Amino acid sequence: MIIEKELEDGFKYLEIKNAHAEAKITLQGAHIFHFKPIKKEPILWLSNLAQFKIGKAIRGGIPICFPWFGKHKLDPSLAQHGFARTSIWKLVLSEELEDNTTHIILELTSNLETKKIWNYDFTLHLAVTIGEKLDIEMTITNRDKKAFEISTALHSYFNISDIENILIEGVEGCRYFDALSKKEELQNEKLNFTEEVDRVYFNISKNIDLVDKNRTIKLEQEGSNSLVIWNPWLEKSKTMSDMEDEGYKTMVCLETANALEDSQIVGVGESHVLGVVIG
């Protein structure tokens, strides 16, 4: 079942329910802000102070970073993480499949507003299949007459019992850039959390495990050679108007990405696919 709903201020979202799971996806940003398998805890985390307003990014779920990740490297005055997460997307396909999963495709194309910010013609498709697992595939197609460079991410926030219970498996032996120290380091063992973490890992495994006290959330990644791991800890949480001071305890971001040196050149008429299966 797919129902289109609307909040009081005109903010639209899709509510999906089937035999396997339920999900909610906004048309602004193609933002999956809820995914819960039947009879299980929600997999995605959403801030209790998240704002659902036109032009405002949502804290939690899976924001889409495009056409750049983080700050624009030439013009830091531009919106962090690009414009896709606050643009209005179009629903171009919705279907219930024979295995009782639900498949939808949302589309964002270049227009006068996007070209004021990033002067290229493109088509962006987000294909989402909701079943026992959440299958996401973002396809970026170059419709321009020249190649362009992108850095992207599926900025996934995960719902956890407590940050001190968490281990990340699949990053062992990987080097990473630490955005806090501005240094490159090597991860010698599984990652646990005792303080703020803001890192981009490279040459990571395609399979990442988020090990919690009572469950393990698995990520199977495609088209990515980098993984962003982020938890703001207490002091940074206090600076965020859309996050409770201790919200950091029940969330961690594992972001399937093309970040920093993993940015991609997309040639004329070519496409790049970035995807993840979560379950």
Q: Which regions of 110-204 does DSSP assign to beta strands (E)? A: 122-130, 134-142, 148-150, 152-154, 157-159, 167-169, 175-178, 183-186, 197-202
Residue type for position 58 = I
Q: Which CATH number fits domain 2-278: 3.40.50.300, 2.130.10.10, 2.70.98.10, 2.60.40.1260?
A: 2.70.98.10
For the chain, domain boundaries: 2-278
Six-digit token string for 39:
């009879």
Q: Which of 137, 164, 255, 261 is catalytic?
A: 255
Q: Tell me: the pLDDT tens digits for 28-75?
A: 999 999 999 999 999 999 999 999 999 999 999 999 999 999 988 888
- The pLDDT value given to residue 249: 98
Q: Tell me: the pLDDT tens digits for 180-221?
A: 999 999 999 999 999 999 999 999 999 999 999 999 999 999
Local confidence band at 8 (pLDDT 50, 70, 90 cut-offs): confident
Residue 95: its H or E element: strand 90-96
- pLDDT over threshold 80, residue 133: yes
Q: Tell me: the pLDDT tens digits for 148-187?
A: 999 999 999 999 999 999 999 999 999 999 999 999 999 9
Read off φ and ψ for residue 90, nearest 5 degrees. Answer: -115, 135
State percent of the chain over pLDDT 90: 95
Average pLDDT over residues 102-126: 97
User: Is-catalytic flag, 255?
Assistant: yes
User: Could you tell me the pTM of the whole model?
Assistant: 0.96
3-state secondary structure of 249: helix
- The pLDDT value given to residue 77: 85
- The pLDDT value given to residue 22: 98
How is the chain split among helix, strand and coil, in percent rounded to 5? 10, 45, 45
Q: Tell me: the pLDDT tens digits for 99-109?
A: 999 999 999 99
Q: Which residues does residue 218 pair with via DSSP β-bridges, in sequence order?
A: 209
- pLDDT over threshold 80, residue 131: yes
Instruction: Tell me if 273 sits within 8 A of 139, measured CB to CB.
Output: yes
Q: Which of 72, 81, 125, 155 is catalytic?
A: 155
Average pLDDT over residues 74-82: 89
Local confidence band at 9 (pLDDT 50, 70, 90 cut-offs): confident
Instruction: Tell me if 266 sits within 8 A of 273, measured CB to CB.
Output: no
Distance in angstroms (rounded) separating the CA atoms of residues 230 and 64: 15
